């Protein structure tokens, strides 16, 4: 079994889910997504044991020379595990929703998981670009057809998102064309050794940055985010925040920094400062929000700004902290958006001012939501603390003031998240009844919380798994710098 097997399961699952019809669509999607996760776990076992080759390379087009090249290493497998683990969880969160045309909805989720997984494991630049673009189509239709609010506002939000991300991707494609002209190959192993003039390297770096800054997003390219997160159905928001934005951060590590390290080193302070500005900006906007999903959207903006800042420090701690925090953020943000979805189902509102008193009616839900809030603010013994500590440490190695300023996210994040918890869960009881969590809802929360606590207490398996590959990427960065 090689890594292409996971992509085949997801793609075949998308087709099968569509053709089984609305009645069985959710169950089929859950079965295929779980099978993809199981296959990823097995491939990871084979990779660790060195029992057999798990990468897949075949010639696709002779001229230009393009390969179907899928590589399994610690970094790509970690991101593949995140994708295939969160996909069935996200599907489970939708089981209580009444959806029109369920077969299309769940087929699009699986197709999006297929495209995102392909992005994480591709080592041919052209194939990577195709997967990158393919991932945009499902979320466009998911947000447009099953989103919240009136059709006109949804259409406006998703078209802005599509145009922004597609325009940024065109710059990335131009960068790949330049790289192919210099090397005759799209493979990372050749692109890392490409000889580029200073001007070419600067253009490649900025072209990649535009594509990734929009997808993450980093200010001032963030203006699409909050509206799309709010207008998209919660499953779509989870896919965007839990997995899709990780494609861009992963790509900074895998593609941008090793291929164009000189501009990264020369402009390090500029880009780290820009990312930290996003951290502060996102936190301040989160403080002002009255809608729960928008608050969580801006909170996510602040967290991913910190992750991106760690990448641009060009240190092992920064890269490793970014990967660890990507995983932790993926699980906690899915849990928080699911909690917001459950509250919206019970109260039929997203306005924080119309909530309150949930604790007296639902102690189990309150306890689980509290753990997710504490994980979000990086309480020690949670997974988020491990990644955030390494990120701040990497910034301290670069400039102590970066660490000091970025560290304000701990204070600001704790303030607006705990204030939100107080307003939503405590206070006077809402006139509408709030039933406690069902078994299915509790299962999702317990699974997410278990991951956050287990790897918060013992992150060593993931650290050991990703460190050798990050060290190799740093060698490429330092060799080309």
pLDDT of 318-360, one tens digit each? 999 999 999 999 999 999 999 999 998 888 888 888 888 888 8
Supply the pLDDT for residue 480: 65
Rounded Cα distance between 407 and 415, Å, is: 13
- Could you tell me what percent of the chain has a pLDDT over 70? 98
- Give the CA count within 13 Å in the CB-facing half-sphere of 6: 38
Average pLDDT over residues 268-280: 91
Strand 56-61 and strand 66-70: pairing? antiparallel
- Checking if the pLDDT of 227 tops 90, the result is no
- What is the pLDDT confidence band of residue 21, given thresholds at 50, 70 and 90? confident
The answer to whether the beta carbons of residues 308 and 438 sit under 8 Å apart is no
Has residue 433 got a pLDDT over 90? no
Predicted local distance difference test score (pLDDT) of residue 51: 63
Provide the pLDDT for residue 427. Answer: 74
Q: What is the mean pLDDT of the chain?
A: 91
Question: Rounded to whole angstroms, how far apart are CA atoms 99 and 95?
Answer: 9
Residue 67 DSSP SS3: strand
Q: Is the pLDDT of residue 429 over 80?
A: no
Distance CA 393, CA 6 (A): 36
> Across residues 387-413, what is the average pLDDT?
89
Q: What is the DSSP string of 253-300?
A: IIIIHHHSHHHHHHTHHHHHHHHHHHHHHHHHHHHH--BHHHHHHHHH
Mean pLDDT across the stretch 223-239? 88
As given in the structure block, the two tokens for residue 34 are 């779980």
In this prediction, residue 469 carries a pLDDT of: 93
Pick from 111-120, 142-151, 172-181, 256-265: least confident = 142-151
Predicted pLDDT at 249: 95
Q: Residue 98: what pLDDT?
A: 84
pLDDT band at 96 (very low <50, low <70, confident <90, very high): confident
Identify whether the C-beta of residue 313 lies closer than 8 Å to the C-beta of residue 394: yes
pLDDT above 80 for 278: yes
pLDDT value, residue 431: 60
With a cut of 80, say whether residue 402 has pLDDT above it. yes
pLDDT of residue 380 exceeding 90:
yes
Position 49 pLDDT exceeds 80: no
Report the alpha-carbon angle 473-396-476, nearest 5: 10
pLDDT value of position 154:
86
Listed range (15-29, 147-161, 195-209, 425-439) with the worst mean pLDDT: 425-439
Rg (alpha carbons) of the chain, rounded to whole number: 21
Cα 261 from Cα 214, distance rounded (Å): 20
Supply the pLDDT for residue 84: 97
pTM greater than 0.85 (yes/no): yes
Q: Please say if the pLDDT value at position 178 is more than 90.
A: yes
Which pLDDT score is estimated for 221?
84
User: Which residue bears the tokens 């906007």?
Assistant: 285
């Amino acid at each position: 079994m090689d890594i292409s097997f996971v992509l085949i399961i997801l793609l075949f699952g998308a087709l099968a889910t569509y053709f089984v019809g609305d009645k069985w669509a959710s169950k089929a999607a859950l079965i295929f997504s779980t099978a993809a996760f199981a296959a990823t776990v097995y491939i990871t076992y084979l990779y660790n044991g060195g029992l057999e080759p798990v990468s897949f390379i075949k010639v696709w087009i002779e001229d230009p020379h393009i390969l179907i090249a899928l590589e399994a290493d610690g970094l790509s497998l970690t991101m593949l595990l995140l994708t295939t683990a969160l996909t069935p969880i996200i599907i489970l969160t939708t089981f209580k929703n009444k959806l029109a045309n369920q077969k299309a909805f769940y087929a699009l989720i699986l197709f999006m998981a297929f495209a995102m997984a392909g992005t994480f494991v591709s080592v041919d630049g052209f194939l990577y670009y195709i997967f990158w673009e393919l991932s945009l189509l499902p979320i466009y239709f998911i947000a447009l057809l099953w989103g919240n609010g009136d059709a006109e506002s949804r259409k406006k939000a998703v078209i802005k998102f599509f145009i922004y991300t597609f325009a940024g991707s065109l710059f990335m494609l131009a960068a790949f064309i330049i790289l192919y002209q210099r090397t005759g190959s799209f493979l990372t192993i050749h692109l890392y050794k490409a000889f580029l003039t200073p001007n070419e390297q600067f253009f490649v770096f900025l072209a990649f940055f535009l594509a990734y800054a929009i997808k993450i997003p980093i200010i001032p390219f963030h203006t699409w985010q909050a509206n799309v997160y709010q207008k998209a159905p919660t499953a779509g928001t989870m896919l965007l925040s839990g997995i899709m934005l990780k494609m861009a951060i992963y790509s900074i590590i895998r593609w941008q920094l090793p291929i164009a390290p000189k501009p990264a080193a020369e402009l390090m302070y500029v880009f780290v400062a820009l990312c930290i500005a996003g951290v502060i900006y996102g936190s301040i906007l989160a403080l002002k929000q009255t809608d729960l999903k928008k608050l969580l959207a801006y909170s996510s903006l602040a967290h991913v700004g910190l992750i991106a800042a760690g990448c641009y420090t060009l240190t092992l701690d920064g890269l490793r902290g970014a990967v660890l925090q990507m995983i932790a953020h993926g699980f906690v943000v899915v849990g928080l958006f699911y909690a917001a979805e459950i509250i919206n189902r019970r109260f039929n509102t997203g306005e924080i001012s119309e909530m309150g008193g949930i604790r007296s009616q639902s102690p189990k839900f309150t306890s689980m939501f509290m753990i997710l809030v504490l994980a979000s603010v990086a309480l020690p013994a949670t997974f988020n603390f491990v990644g955030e500590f390494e990120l701040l440490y990497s910034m301290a190695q670069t400039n102590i003031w970066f660490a000091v300023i970025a560290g304000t996210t701990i204070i600001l994040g704790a303030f607006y998240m705990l204030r939100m918890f107080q307003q939503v869960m405590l206070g006077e009881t809402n006139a509408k009844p709030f039933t406690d969590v069902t078994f299915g809802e509790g299962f999702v929360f317990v699974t997410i919380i278990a991951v956050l606590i287990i790897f918060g207490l013992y992150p060593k398996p993931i650290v050991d798994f990703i460190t050798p590959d990050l060290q190799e990427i740093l060698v490429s960065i330092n060799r080309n710098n």
